[in-house]
Amino acid sequence: MPALPAFPDAVTERTLTLQTRLCVGLDPRAEVYRDTAHLRLHTLDVLEATAPFAACVKPQLAFFEALGLPGFTLLEEVCALARTLGLPVILDGKRGDIGSTAEAYARAWLGGPHAGDALTVNPFLGFATLTPFVEAARANGGGIFVLVKTSNPDQSDVQGSGVSERVAVEVARLNTEEVGAEAEAGTYASVGAVVGATHARDLATFRALMPHALLLLPGLGAQGAAAADLAPAFHAGGTGALASASRGVQYAAGSGAAGLDVAASVAAAKRFRDELNGALEL
């Protein structure tokens, strides 16, 4: 397999080449399928069929873990297929722990047998606990996305009172350490940030706070965020952010077995892509 460029460059290059800011989320829900073989086929089909409309793909680790050992085998297949399709992989695991445990997570998901190109990381244990993830991302040409302000309404229980803003300032500091204080906005470094697409009014603030961070914006579709509201998350030219839809793509035709319609997934991915470009007037 040809080596991909470093993660932030690979995503930006694909965004500009294909003119898409959509991240396709894969959340394979066991209860929708007859069995694991059925789940596997549909998940790989959705990935392959929607790839032309996607800047990257985001497998949600929880759904693979819920399948047990076959889930990890499938995750390896998903990562391998994505690589063949030229799609950077963001593993959505929201991992976080201290010291040598964080190192083990970083080794597992940014360098190990199921490694992706990037991993979502939970900062609850403190800023120094991000270091092993940042170092692994930098060493492997990968990336991390630190949870800054998640898409759900009750995030404010813990992320309120300035916590999200303090995490954002730390993300910016890590990136400046990497690209230098003179780098222009629009130069992207290894440390991205998760900011819910549902917080449209905050996007400009977080964009400004983290000039060198790729922003991952979950919540498009099923969670109610609208592509039309997301322009403030992007830099000029439409780079710097990825809006993510999961159920709204994989199960675009509806929940339950009746929703397993790959053509509907393709149509949804194409529609999200076009709505995002429309919001950016591209």
Q: Which residues are marked as active site?
A: 94
**What residues numbered 110-139 form the site for its own copies, per CB under 8 A?**
112-114, 122-129
Binding mask 13-52 for its own copies (x = CB under 8 A): --------------x-x-----------------------
Conformational region of residue 142, where left means phi above 0, alpha means psi within -120 to 50, and beta covers everything else: beta
Query: Which span (43-51, 109-117, 136-144, 270-278) binds its own copies, by CB under 8 A?
Result: 109-117
Residue whose CB is less far from its own copies, 63 or 234? 63
Tokens of 217: 């914006």
Interface residue with its own copies, options 80, 158, 208, 257 (CB under 8 A): 158
Pick from 14, 40, 94, 138 the residue near its own copies by CB under 8 A.
94
Contact call for residue 150 and its own copies (CB under 8 A): yes
Binding to its own copies by residue 104, rule CB under 8 A?
yes
In the bound state with its own copies, the residue whose beta carbon lies nearer, of 128 and 263, is 128
Cβ proximity to its own copies: between 18 and 32 the closer is: 32
Q: Is 224 in the site for its own copies (CB under 8 A)?
A: no
Determine the size of the site formed for its own copies (CB under 8 A).
52
Q: List phi, psi (to 5°) of 4.
A: -85, 155
**Residue with smaller CB distance to its own copies, 2 or 162:** 162
21: which 2 tokens?
């800011």
Residues β-bridged to residue 245: 24
Of 46-54, 65-73, 178-186, 224-232, the window that binds its own copies (rule: CB under 8 A) is 65-73
How many CB atoms within 10 Å of residue 72?
Answer: 15
Q: Which long-range contacts (CB under 8 A, 24 or more apart) does 236-240 make?
A: 236/186, 237/16, 237/186, 238/15, 238/16, 238/19, 238/21, 238/277, 238/280, 238/282, 239/12, 239/15, 239/16, 239/186, 239/188, 240/12, 240/186, 240/188, 240/207, 240/213, 240/214, 240/215
Strand partners, 191: 144
Query: Are the C-beta atoms of 154 and 179 separated by less than 8 Å?
Result: no
Cβ-based nearer residue to its own copies, 163 or 262: 163
* Nearest alpha-carbon partner for 248 in 218, 228, 274, 277: 218
Q: How far is the CB of 215 from its own copies (least distance, A)?
A: 18
Which residues of the shown chain bind its own copies in the complex (CB under 8 A)? 27, 29, 60, 62-63, 65-66, 68-69, 72-73, 94-102, 104-105, 107-109, 112-114, 122-129, 147, 150-159, 161, 163, 166-167, 170
